[in-house]
Structure 1
Amino acid sequence: LFNPSHMDFDPQDSNQEVNRTEPTLVEMTQKAIEILRKDPRGYFLMVEGARIDFGHHANSAITAISETLDLDEAIRTAVRMTDSQETLVIVTADHSHAFAIQGYAPRGHDILGMADPGMDIVPLDGLPYTTLGYTNGPVFGREDLTNVDTGSPGFRQAGCIPVSIETHAGEDVSVYALGPMAHLFHATHEQNYIYHVMEYAACVGNSAQYCRNSKAHWRGQKRSSAAGSN
């Protein structure tokens, strides 16, 4: 709609000039809700912070973090524009990345800075290393970063294994929820469980029958839901 391929990264974390022809994630979220909430039957909206993924694939922690902050603002917008008594907001991810926090950084330490090994742990090659790193990716090898600004937009953290792009990983990811039936997210769940909660909360599909029972759902609840994803 706004770009023949992927949308640009947040200009604050790249060397690209601001592209005024592309709306921000917050602006798109706001406009989508303004349009969809006019339907009295309710709505489903998925908002994806897709560029977080691409930042990690390039071994660029600052890009991934900045794009995550953009998603955070979009979530704030969705929460502000909806009624928590009527709208279920879910925030989750479809996978993790080969991304790690390494060393023993003290409180207040710059997350984009160098790791403080601590506990008498000394790098065997004598070179400092960043707090954030990757287990693989297109940037690899050990370089002396003593005089390098590791917090600059163009800096990319090194990976241990050289591959064309950094890969996804296999850890569990978090799921947060606010609104009707949010209490159903309470432990470790299989990924398809999220779908069934959304279906149940919205009173659609196989769960529509439960809405006829006033004891199963809140009376007067509008069937609307918004989901945030990265």
Structure 2
Amino acid sequence: MKRLLITSTALSLLGTAAFADGHLPQENNDWYKAAQQELKAKMAVAPITGKAKNVIVLVADGNGVGSNYATRIYQGQQKGGFGDENVMSKEQLPHLALVKTYNVNAQTPDSAGTATALFSGVKTKAGVIGVDETLNRGDCSTVESASVASIAEILSDAGKSVGLVTTARLTHATPASAYAHAADRNHEDDSKLPEGCTTPDIASQLISAMEKGTVDLAMGGGRRHFLPKEARDNEGKNGKRTDGKNLIEAAKANGVQYAWDSKTADALKLDGSPVLALFESSHMKYENDRAGEPSLAEMTEKAIRALSNDQDGYFLAIEAGRVDHANHDGNVHRTVTDGVAFDDAVRVAMEMTNPEETLIVVTADHDHSIGFNGTCGRGTPITGLCYGVDNNGVKHTGELNLANDGKPYSVVGYLNGIGSILSEGGQGSRPVVTQEEAVDPDYIQQALIPMDYETHSAVDVAVYARGPWAHLLNGTVEQNFIFHVMKYAATGH
């Protein structure tokens, strides 16, 4: 009854005539008009139900909704705005779902298990590559019986070209799950295999896949796992292999083009002939530190150009692997700069493809323990300290908010990691940090629980999509469901 009285009072103040002709007092408000435009745009979106000639899946490793939010703000602030109003390229994709990321034996997931779910359609244990949950991690004897087919292998068998692009090592958990089958994600080269293990190491499996034509293009880091320990790479770093094999030379002998830096990458013939590019001994550089090697967007552009020579279409997996590593380091600046580089790659993929024939899926494999402290006014630098809310304007006050200990605090923090303010005995005192120190690219965010590195989180991640059957990605889904949408879109079953 009280609610009805309030409503009646409000109506008497506004006048019922204001609603009778369809007009509202707020209709000239910019926020109202923008929402009306968005409503019309969404009403015009129609499902695309033809077969997908091409499938592109872009994975920002560790880019949960928190990291995604920080990246959105950072990208927008770099453009000169407050950041909140910014819309990233992937956020313009019309279809969206939340994704449950747990492994069958882990509430908080691991990238090997999540990537296997994404690429093979079944959830599995943490730490294993391209196998189902019947395999116990480290047990090489059951790799063959537990192996599952990946979307890359399936679509290659259907006649499509396959490409892999990553800023991590090509033998790392996420890219490896597209082509390899291993009892442990750490079996990147033969030196990591346990005694008696007859399963080929992951680097060897990639070269075999290229020889068989299952993988046509691979770009990323990880040179050391393809070279014997006696050999030095183009940058003077030793390999890791103990079997004496030089897999790079073996690939080149089989007609594979090879690149190791920006110059040699630019010299590649993107005519559909096989390509292997290894730009670092280990992972590629963070975007903040990148020099002498291509960006993720540049690799994406080269990959699409090369794979588009196949008239039957292609499958392309693209990973921003170092968003995850920056979060583990507790370093928000490199998290968001690699996040922006990932969004640039998404933009390139969107611009170079036709929604009627290419399914684009953008997601993350898991979240991190990233958190946001309040209450900050608009325009507060996302990598810095929190400014107060101005009750008389729209921008922050310019005065730092203080916690109960009388010290300012950063906008972003972590629940655990190397930036912990607690000692082993549970006591600690937060250091005083200036805004200049906080926005420095090398600043490590304050964290709560002390750990050697920040950990993953079990929180859902998002998946964005455009193209044939993208509308099936809606609501809340299991991570392995994404594979089934990609497979159905490309094959019809």
TM-score by length of 2: 0.39
Aligned twin of 2:350: 79
Using the TM superposition, give the Cα deviation of residue 59 of structure 1 relative to its aligned residue in structure 2, in angstroms.
0.5
SS of 2:475's equivalent? Answer: coil
Conserved in 1, the CA contact under 8 Å of 2:367 and 2:460? yes
CA shift at 1:76, angstroms? 0.4
Q: CA offset at residue 146 of structure 1?
A: 3.5
- SS of the residue corresponding to residue 174 of structure 1 reads strand
1:193-208 matched pairs, under 5 angstroms: 193-203=481-491, 207=493
SS at match of 2:476: coil
Partners of 1:102 and 1:197 in 2: CA distance: 37
- Are 1:189 and 2:466 counterparts? no
Unaligned runs of 5+ in 2: 1-277, 390-400, 422-429
Q: Distance between the aligned counterparts of 2:435 and 2:410, measured in 1?
A: 12
Aligned to 2:285: 8
Answer yes or no: is the 8 Å Cα contact 1:115–1:128 preserved in 2.
yes
Structure 1 residue 143, shift from structure 2 partner: 0.6
Is 2:435 the counterpart of 1:161?
Answer: no
CA contact (8 A) 1:29 1:78 kept: yes
Of the candidates 4, 15, 19, which is equivalent to residue 291 of structure 2?
A: 19
| 1:31 matches 2:325 | no
- Equivalence for 2:432: 144
1:115 Cα deviation after fit: 2.2
How far apart are the structure 2 equivalents of 1:106 and 1:182? 37
Cα distance in 1 between the residues matched to 2:347 and 2:440? 27
Contact 1:103 1:116 in 2 (8 A): no
Give distance in 1, aligned partners of 2:445 and 2:363: 25
Distance 1:122 1:151 in 2: 17
State the distance in 2 between where 1:68 and 1:169 align.
18
Tell me, in whole angstroms, the C-alpha distance in 2 between the residues paired with 1:169 and 1:123.
26
Higher relative contact order, chain-length normalized (CA < 8 Å, sep 6+): 1
Q: For residues 181 and 147 of structure 1, do their structure 2 counterparts lie closer, same or farther at Cα, with a shift above 3 Å needed?
A: closer
| Cα pair distance change 1:183/1:155, threshold 3 Å | same
Q: Tell me whether 1:109 sits opposite 2:389 in the alignment.
A: no
Amino acid at match of 1:46: A
Corresponding residue pairs, total: 198
Report the counterpart of residue 130 of structure 1 in structure 2: 410
Shift of 1:122: 5.8
The structure where helix makes up a greater share of residues is 2
Check whether the contact 1:138–1:162 (CA below 8 A) recurs between aligned residues.
Answer: yes
Residue 158 to residue 122, structure 1, CA distance change in 2 (3 Å): closer
SS in 1 for 2:434: coil
Distance 1:26 1:81 in 2: 12
The amino acid across from 2:440 in the alignment is S
Alpha carbons of structure 1 residues 135 and 189: separation in structure 2 relative to 1, 3 Å: same
Q: Normalization by structure 1: what TM-score?
A: 0.81
- Counterpart AA for 1:19: A
Task: State the 4+ residue runs in structure 1 displaced beyond 6 angstroms.
Answer: none
Matched ranges for 1:213-228 at <5 A? none
Task: Measure the CA separation in 2 of the matches of 1:133 and 1:115.
Answer: 11
SS at match of 1:45: strand
**CA contact under 8 A between 2:377 and 2:388: conserved in structure 1?**
no
Aligned-residue CA RMSD in angstroms? 1.8
- Are 2:100 and 1:100 equivalent residues in the alignment? no
User: Residues 136 and 117 from structure 1, CA distance in 2 versus in 1: closer, same or farther, beyond 3 angstroms?
Assistant: farther
Superposed displacement of residue 4, structure 1: 1.6
The answer (yes or no) to whether the contact 1:96–1:173 under 8 Å persists in 2 is yes
